[in-house]
A and B are shown apart, each in its own frame.
Chain A
Amino acid sequence: MSVIPATDRPTPQVRRFGAVNWIGLWTLYYREVRRFVKVATQTVLAPLVTTLLYLAIFVLAIGNPAHKIGDVPFQAFLAPGLIMMAMVQNAFANTSSSIMISKIQGNIVDTLMPPLSPGELTCGFALGGMTRGLAVGFVMWGAMTLLVPVGVHDFLFVLFHAVAASLMLSLLGIIGGVWSEKFDHLAAVTNFIITPFAFLSGTFYSISGLPPFWYGVAQLNPFFYMIDGFRYGFTGHADGSLAAGLIVLTTVDVLLWALAYTMFARGYRLKA
């Protein structure tokens, strides 16, 4: 029985990546996108139906067509808020459910084993969630324009706030998904943190109608700035300071990115 001498075999080389493992990053991103596209009825059509229901309910319940906020008709005021709410909820759902399900089913190792750095993991997941948020937002926008006069006042504001808000909730979804150990925990994050912040952020009403104390509190909510700036992009009506909004959103995005990165780097609740 002949044995090939070890020296004759080519020594396997460690595969080298440049600064960024582009193939790995693209694969992770592509998987995250394919995940929601495959069940588009649940991830795009369902939010669309829910959002249109909200539109119908609020328009019917608030009633009076002459009802205006500033000089904006109520429907035109409401539409951008609803689009934004659907976007952020879906961006959050994409990353949090992806990580949570992988953890519960044990296939998170398939994501942790490949040569992806913490930065690449954060980036792949975050951009995947952001893509879902933007896709949902785009579909909502299309549907809304058929029903409500939605003009665009400043497209750059629309774009910046859409991207910054989707990214923010997508990062929060990573953090929530990594932190949660059971679906209960994730449901608690959604029910007790995300939904209240989103509902109480001025989606459905102008915060300038609030009593002074609550007006102050509402301005501490980062969700307020993303809805307010996004709405300004459509209607030209803002309740708060736009410059403050740009700073708050950028800062929060950077901080959340750093937190998500740290979680992946330390393997928090992911590695033994």
Chain B
Amino acid sequence: MPTLVMPRRYGAVNWRGLWTLCLKDLHRARKSFRYSVLGPVVSNLLFLAVFAVARGGAGSYVGDLTFLQFLVPGLVIFAVCECAYSTSSESLLFDKMEGMIADTLMAPLTPLELTVGYACSSAAMGLITGAAVAFPMLFIVDLPIASLPSILFFATGGALMHGLLGIIVGLWAERWDHHAAALTFIVIPFGFLSGTFYSVASLPALAERVARLNPVFYVIDGFRAGSTGHADGSAITGAVVVTLVVLSLAVCAHRLFRIGYKLKP
């Protein structure tokens, strides 16, 4: 009498699958460590050096912070965001281009597990890179910690926001051009123009209003406030905006996985 092979049962969540998916992307990032982590460390130190020299001695205060104290949190949080975006979008696009995406789609993972797995691993990579970027800067610039919970909240929020955006771009993109275009025309301008390098309070009135419509502004501003105590916007508004944007991007990414957008025929 042959024994019947029963389908394997999972509980509500396939924990092992989810964990494996996360590890897969972290391992991939570890293999390109020099490129994905050390690259941002060097380029951000360069930004710091260039701004320190270009800004010179005179008038280098923003509010009651020195310009460098103002700048470093902006550089760190932007490194977090950019790395989170690149990790998920490059991972998905690479797998799609090489035809390996089937290995992820065949595994018993629900759309929700896929969304969470990709979002968490890319956010984790973003935070690791951010820590690596911040570390040498702490020796150069004296940085206070005004509120650790805000630092963690806005760093994680920014990382998740960009990780989820990376999922959406990774699913939508069909070629490397598309990925690069989204980075050059969306992620970098949104980050750079919303207060990474300067206080939006110094912008002309109209430009300032536009900057305040940008969710990335709240990520950067909230993170900077957590570190230095200098805020251009309200922390409560920031927390609400960041949470809402993360949730809506998560819903969008989940839906794309569910309908198999550009993934399944």
**Which one of A41, A53, A64 contacts B192 once the chains associate, using CB atoms below 8 Å?**
A53
- Let me know if A49 is at the binding interface, CB within 8 A: yes
- Known contacts: A46-B180, A191-B35. The answer to whether A53 contacts B198 by CB under 8 A is no
Residue of B at shortest CB range from A191? B39
- Let me know if A252 is at the binding interface, CB within 8 A: no
| Partner-binding segment picked from A9-17, A138-146, A196-204, A257-265 | A196-204
- Asked if residues B32 and A53 are in contact (CB atoms below 8 Å), the reply is no
- Asked if residues B198 and A204 are in contact (CB atoms below 8 Å), the reply is no
The answer for the CA separation of A57 and B49 in the assembled complex, in Å, is 15
Chain B residues whose CB sits within 8 angstroms of the CB of A210 once the complex forms: 53
- Let me know if A184 is at the binding interface, CB within 8 A: yes
The answer for the CA separation of A33 and B50 in the assembled complex, in Å, is 33
- Let me know if B262 is at the binding interface, CB within 8 A: no
- Asked if residues A184 and B32 are in contact (CB atoms below 8 Å), the reply is yes
- Asked if residues A200 and B177 are in contact (CB atoms below 8 Å), the reply is no
Residue of A at shortest CB range from B35? A187
Q: Which of B71-107 contact A (CB under 8 A)?
A: 71
The total of interchain contacts (Cβ-Cβ below 8 angstroms) comes to 84
- Known contacts: A46-B180, A53-B192, A187-B35. The answer to whether A61 contacts B53 by CB under 8 A is no
- Asked if residues B34 and A63 are in contact (CB atoms below 8 Å), the reply is no
Residue of B at shortest CB range from A53? B192
- Let me know if A60 is at the binding interface, CB within 8 A: yes
Q: Mark B32-68, 1 if CB is under 8 A from A, else 0.
A: 1011001100110011011101111001000000010
- The DSSP consensus for interface residues of chain B is helix
- The DSSP consensus for interface residues of chain A is helix
Residue of A at shortest CB range from B55? A62
**Which one of A60, A191, A192, A205 contacts B50 once the chains associate, using CB atoms below 8 Å?**
A205
The answer for the CA separation of A179 and B198 in the assembled complex, in Å, is 40
**Which one of B42, B180, B189, B197 contacts A61 once the chains associate, using CB atoms below 8 Å?**
B197
- Known contacts: A60-B197, A64-B59. The answer to whether A204 contacts B50 by CB under 8 A is yes
The answer for the CA separation of A199 and B42 in the assembled complex, in Å, is 11
Chain B residues whose CB sits within 8 angstroms of the CB of A53 once the complex forms: 188-189, 192-193
- Asked if residues A184 and B184 are in contact (CB atoms below 8 Å), the reply is no
- Let me know if B3 is at the binding interface, CB within 8 A: no
- Let me know if B181 is at the binding interface, CB within 8 A: yes
- Let me know if B203 is at the binding interface, CB within 8 A: yes
The answer for the CA separation of A53 and B184 in the assembled complex, in Å, is 10
- Asked if residues B59 and A63 are in contact (CB atoms below 8 Å), the reply is yes
- Known contacts: A42-B180, A60-B197, A184-B32. The answer to whether A205 contacts B192 by CB under 8 A is no
- Asked if residues A188 and B34 are in contact (CB atoms below 8 Å), the reply is yes
Q: Mark A203-215, 1 if CB is under 8 A from B, else 0.
A: 1110001100000
Chain A residues whose CB sits within 8 angstroms of the CB of B46 once the complex forms: 195-196, 199-200
Q: Which of A28-85 contact B (CB under 8 A)?
A: 39, 41-42, 46, 49-50, 53, 56-58, 60-64
Chain B residues whose CB sits within 8 angstroms of the CB of A41 once the complex forms: 177, 181
- Asked if residues A209 and B50 are in contact (CB atoms below 8 Å), the reply is no
User: Shortest Cβ distance from A143 into chain B, in angstroms?
Assistant: 15
A selection of 17 A-B contacts at a CB cut-off of 8 Å is: A42-B177, A42-B181, A46-B181, A46-B184, A50-B184, A57-B196, A60-B203, A63-B198, A64-B59, A183-B35, A184-B32, A191-B39, A191-B43, A195-B46, A200-B46, A205-B50, A209-B56
Q: A41-B177, A191-B39 are in contact. List 8 more A-B contacts (CB 8 A).
A: A39-B177, A50-B188, A56-B192, A188-B34, A196-B42, A199-B49, A200-B50, A204-B50
In the A-B complex, the 10 residue pairs with the smallest Cβ-Cβ separation, listed nearest first, are A205-B54, A61-B198, A191-B39, A46-B184, A187-B35, A60-B198, A199-B46, A205-B53, A61-B197, A204-B54
